[in-house]
Amino acid sequence: MTTAAVLLAAGSGSRMGLKPKSLLELNGEPLIRRSARQLLDAGVSQLVVVLGHYAADIEAPLQGLPVHKVYNPDPDQGLVSSQRLGLQALSDNTDTVIMSLADQPLVTTQDIETLLQAFAESTQDMVFPFVNGQPGNPVLLSARARVEILAGDSGFGCKEWRQSHAAQVQKCPSDNLHFVTDLDRPEDVAEFEKTHGMKLQWPAHWAG
């Protein structure tokens, strides 16, 4: 089985005050690098990072990691446009795709391995964590789902495929809050620190 990953980091951070949330640092490490490292440690053979807004700033912490960078020329088209660019950039022999977000500070290599094991044991084409009634991330796709998504129009992404192929989707029930903890707004940062007792810091250029 060949496993690849798409790491999405192209957004403008509009709800975060127009700041690149993947540059928030946990224990001194930018989330973008932490996310990439966790995926690589889980054994992915190819890691595509989709960049857009703040690309130069975000790619700097990725130096030294074996990642393939793809640039979304119009990231304001939304998440689906970045998903599709990432899927297009993967090798044709990819069996399993991990679609991952760069603003999930708690997802670990072990969490990813748990999802990969669930996917390996499933007969479905999409597996995603389902925590307390809430769908989480990362999402795992088969080669067939990838082909079918890319065969759709420019507005057809993972969510749209899931909604139109319900019989081929498996929820992975979990009580692991790592899968549903992300950072969209300044309040989320404050809540994260209060709940988990860990400090998130902006790099000097983006502080204030």
Task: Give residue limits of the domains in the chain.
Answer: 3-206
Average pLDDT, the chain: 96
What's the pTM?
A: 0.97
Determine the length of the chain.
208
The pLDDT tens digits of the residues spanning 112-155 come to 999 999 999 999 999 999 999 999 999 999 999 999 999 999 99
Q: What is the mean pLDDT of residues 173-180?
A: 97
| CA dist., res. 43 & res. 37, Å (int) | 10
Q: How far, CA to CA in Å, does 184 sit from each of 32, 35, 41, 173?
A: 15, 16, 26, 24
| Half-sphere exposure (Cβ direction) of 64: Cα atoms closer than 13 Å | 4
Q: How far, CA to CA in Å, does 23 sit from each of 57, 59, 136?
A: 8, 10, 21
Per-residue confidence (pLDDT) for residue 137, from 0 to 100: 98
**From the candidate CATH numbers 3.90.550.10, 3.30.565.10, 1.10.357.20, 3.40.605.10, the one assigned to the domain spanning 3-206:** 3.90.550.10
